Amino acid sequence: MPPDYCPQDIGLAGLDGGAAMEVNDHGAVLVNLWRETVAPGSNRSHWSTNPFIWTQERGFTVLPVPEGYSSVVGFALNQHGTVLLGAERWSRPAEETESFLVHGGTLRELPGPPGAREVEYHGLSDRGWLIGTARPAAAPNDRRSFVAEPVR
């Protein structure tokens, strides 16, 4: 790191809050930004989150997100610019989550391991390997870790 290096505030792109999640060696930063909204006729607020890539050259670029989800967050960014996303849909009686990859600007849904439910992906390697946890349908009280083959 050069001795004259100074941290840089990348801002919030006009939203209410945010957090940088990852940076790769090419200077791309995965950032989750959120906005607080209040439903008409209610005093309850709701936070919706969307993932962005920030670079020095382009600033914030919104990532494609799946339709119908109330909140989408970026979990991981690899050296090739592939991003692991988690999407939440609030439905009664429970929260529904799905995982997605963004590669080359294309959004891809990630399948779960065979016989699994409540799948959560947590990490992404530079070669595309994924790690996660899932509840096996045969043992719904257990949570198992898994490694998924690279997505091409």
Structure tokens of 107?
């959004």
Quick one: pLDDT at residue 151?
Answer: 66
How far is 30 from 79, CA to CA, in rounded Å? 11
Q: What is the mean pLDDT of the chain?
A: 87
Quick one: pLDDT at residue 66?
Answer: 92
pLDDT in tens, 49-108: 999 999 999 999 999 999 988 889 999 999 999 999 999 877 655 567 889 999 999 999
Strand, coil or helix: what is 13? coil
The CB density around residue 112, as the number of other CB atoms within 10 Å, is 18
Quick one: pLDDT at residue 152?
Answer: 61
pTM score, whole prediction: 0.85
* Arithmetic mean of pLDDT, 135-144: 87
* Arithmetic mean of pLDDT, 19-40: 90
Task: Give φ, ψ of 48 to 5 degrees.
Answer: -115, 135
* Arithmetic mean of pLDDT, 3-8: 76
Asked whether residue 40 carries a pLDDT value surpassing 90, the answer given is: no
> Burial level of 84, CB count in 10 A (0-12/13-18/19+)?
buried
